[in-house]
Amino acid sequence: MDLVSSWMNEAGMTSTIDSFGNLIGVYEGNDPSLTRLVIGSHIDTQPYAGRFDGTIGVLGAIEVIQLMQENHIKLERTIEIVSFADEEGARFNKGLFGVRALTGKLEAEEMELKDINGTTRAQALKDIELYPNHMEPPRYTPENVCAFLEMHIEQGPLLESQNLPVGIVSGISGPLWLTVEFEGHSGHAGAVPMGLRQDALVGAARVIHLFDEMVKSDLSHPTVGTVGFINNFPNSRNTISEKVTFTIDLRDLLPDRRKKYEDQLYQLITTTAQMYQLNYHITEDTNSDPKYCAGWIKEIMQEELTEMGQEPFELMSGPFHDSLIMADCCPYGMIFVRCEKGLSHHPNEYADIEDITIGTQLLYHTVTRIVNNKHLNVGGNTNESNIQTS
């Protein structure tokens, strides 16, 4: 983070780290009465991942400011570049932390969430000398931000299949994150008859398998479901499982369709608990509706891509991004950069520097179109969908 902060300073920004761990670079405009333009992404990652997810959006935004400084472009509107803290949610099982802090959307128990070692988020921040102040008003509101822009690798194979270096995002699907706990009764693997067992792991296995089958039931839909974490207790080869905790990630572009799968999932969990005589508890960690990119920003990007000699191509985002939260604050736009084989959250994640350069050029041209337009003085977003339900 210190290195990224130094690059912000070299590009002519003043940089600070707020009490939640967000790194913010400010490039001052001439007219303080104008609402600011915010650009950024994140630099945190997953335990088994690569180095492009999020990072190109932060470094690309810094490069935009660097180019403006080198070209002596005078701005009317202030630009802020943000490296949002803990977008991934890998440690505390709840992502988009930094952007939610900046927009006043943190929940009451947020700081008491614990990692697998029992360390709370509050303590983790304290360990790096950060002390969140919940009394501070949100930094970003519909009244002080005109728009948000984010560049990111696609994390999927569509751009590569179209042989295109970049794409214009039309919207972000809404993620539902659940944590499910099944609790049965442990016993000796050789002594307890099969008909008398309350095996939490068998119950979890049934839900995981049938959830996967459920989401695959209509492959014409872009619905996706994943179980990415499981913890089994006591986790001994000759002991019946007593308690299992696992996570569920369900995403769709349409809220009504996702709700249908959600209802089926809850019924599956309830039925399974009854079948194996298990107690169960479901925690809803994240629940967000899809958010659609602003039409006027997409139009700017389409025009600029055409001017650059590139083919404009729109695609939706299955993964969530910091834009998902900023969309409640202001109109937003996203640029996707092709990544090799669609790999992400994997050590082999890779994006070619030429593609990243094209994405950064598009970001630069989009920023220059927005930043001196004095008519864009109020944020807010209608979030209207143009996705067909059929």
Q: What is the DSSP string of 332-383?
A: EEEEEE--GGG--SSTT----HHHHHHHHHHHHHHHHHHHT-TT--------
Alpha-carbon distance of 245 to 239, in angstroms, equals 17
Give phi and psi for 189, each to the nearest 5: -65, -25
Helices 353-371 and 55-70 meet at what angle, rounded to 10?
A: 60
- Quick check: 390 pLDDT over 50? no
Enumerate domains of the chain plus CATH numbers: 2-173+290-371 (3.40.630.10), 174-287 (3.30.70.360)
Q: What is the pLDDT of residue 385?
A: 46
- Quick check: 386 pLDDT over 70? no
Tell if the pTM clears 0.85, that is, is over it. Answer: no
Q: What percent of the chain has pLDDT over 90?
A: 85
Which ranges constitute the DSSP H helices of the chain? Answer: 2-10, 55-70, 97-102, 121-127, 158-161, 200-215, 255-275, 295-307, 323-326, 353-371
Q: Retrieve residue 106's tokens.
A: 């943190």
Q: What band does 202 get if pLDDT is binned at 50, 70 and 90? A: very high
Question: pLDDT tens digit string along 228-241?
Answer: 999 999 999 999 99
Question: pLDDT tens digit string along 62-71?
Answer: 999 999 999 9
Closest CA to 359 of 164, 209, 221: 164
Three-state DSSP at 253 gives coil
- Quick check: 379 pLDDT over 70? no
DSSP single-letter state for residue 138 = P
Question: pLDDT tens digit string along 81-136?
Answer: 999 999 999 999 888 999 999 999 998 889 999 999 999 999 999 999 999 987 78
Question: pLDDT tens digit string along 245-290?
Answer: 999 999 988 889 999 999 999 999 999 999 999 999 999 988 988 8
Q: What band does 389 get if pLDDT is binned at 50, 70 and 90? A: very low
Give phi and psi for 62, each to the nearest 5: -65, -40
User: What is the chain's mean pLDDT, rounded?
Assistant: 93
Alpha-carbon distance of 227 to 382, in angstroms, equals 32
Q: What percent of the chain has pLDDT over 70?
A: 96
Sign of CA dihedral 21, 319, 257, 228: negative
